[in-house]
């Protein structure tokens, strides 16, 4: 099914590079072509294998979402929420994938625009979350929230997390947000340390458009994307967030069980 496979490694990680070399040799023995450069991957690859972890997969998803190439994640450490193939049985499971034994699912991304007076200042993508938060100061930020052009509320808080179902087990979870199954078509809004306890997590339909308008603030604020990139914003600027038009397609082993991963990562049922 896959004639050419792109391999992406964790930057500056000898272990990742070593395992990628092992994987490359194995694939070539199976008669499968291997490409390593981003441009070649975008143009030639039928499948992308990420040898790293969830962070590496997040970056790969943002980079290649519009190329419609399925992604398989090999985790170098403990199994991740996204990279769920253990490096210990990497070659066996890759062989199964090459034989067509896998499951496939879609994951949505968020598209974010930074705007001022109707002008677009920047565009960014996120697989997990878009987070508006205070800069390195103890002062809270004040912002208004709109959904589909309807005013929702005004908040004073450390920030606001706009999350996909994928990101619901990341920063949003530690801030008291709900876990959303990846098959749920929704966007979550989770306040970070709100000044008023009545601000509760909110789920809205996946087709909604969320606008966060930063109010007067001497320090301004920061918008982060998957916790990997960030930009500074100032009062009066809008952060407009909606689902991206393309999805990523994650491949999993045939016996993939989302709830098993949740139980393992969150230690559900573990005896203390």
Within a 10 A sphere around the Cβ of 50, how many other Cβ atoms?
28
Q: 155 with 194: CB under 8 angstroms?
A: yes
Q: Which residues pair with 259 in a beta bridge?
A: none
Catalytic one among 54, 84, 158, 226?
Answer: 54
For 136-175, b where at least 16 C-beta lie within 10 A, e where not — what string? Answer: eeeebbbbebbbeeeebeebbbbbbbbbbbbbbbbbbbeb
Residue 54 is a catalytic residue: yes
117: Cβ contacts below 8 Å, ≥ 6 apart: none
Q: Say how far apart CA 123 and CA 204 lie, in whole Å.
A: 22
The burial of 9, by beta-carbon neighbours within 10 Å (0-12 exposed, 13-18 middle, 19 or more buried), is given as: buried
> What is the distance, to the nearest Å, from the Cα of residue 65 to the centroid of all Cα atoms in its chain?
11
**Token pair of 243 as six digits:** 């689902």
Residues classed as catalytic: 54
């Amino acid at each position: 099914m896959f004639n050419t496979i792109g391999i992406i490694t964790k930057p500056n990680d000898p272990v990742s590079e070593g395992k990628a070399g092992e994987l490359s040799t194995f694939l070539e023995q199976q008669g499968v072509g291997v490409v390593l450069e981003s441009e070649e991957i975008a143009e030639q690859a039928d499948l992308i294998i990420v040898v790293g972890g969830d962070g590496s997969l997040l970056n790969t998803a943002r980079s290649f979402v519009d190329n419609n190439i399925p992604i398989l994640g090999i985790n170098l450490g403990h199994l991740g929420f996204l990279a769920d193939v253990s490096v210990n049985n990497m070659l066996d499971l890759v062989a199964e994938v090459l034989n067509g034994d896998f499951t496939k699912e879609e994951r949505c991304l968020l598209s974010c625009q930074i705007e001022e007076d109707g002008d677009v200042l920047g565009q960014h993508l996120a697989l997990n979350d878009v987070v508006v938060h205070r800069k390195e100061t103890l002062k809270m930020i004040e912002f208004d929230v709109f959904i589909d052009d309807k005013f929702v509320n005004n908040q004073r808080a450390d920030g606001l997390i706009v999350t996909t179902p994928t990101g619901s087990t990341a920063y949003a979870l530690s801030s008291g947000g709900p876990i959303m199954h990846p098959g749920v078509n929704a966007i979550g809004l989770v306040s970070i340390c709100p000044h008023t306890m009545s601000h509760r997590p909110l789920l809205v339909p996946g087709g909604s458009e969320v606008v966060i308008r930063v109010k007067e603030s001497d320090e301004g604020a920061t918008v982060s994307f998957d916790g990997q990139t960030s930009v500074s914003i100032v009062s009066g600027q809008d952060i407009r967030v909606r689902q991206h038009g393309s999805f990523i397609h994650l491949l999993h082993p045939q016996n993939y069980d989302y709830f098993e991963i949740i139980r393992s990562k969150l230690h559900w049922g573990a005896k203390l």
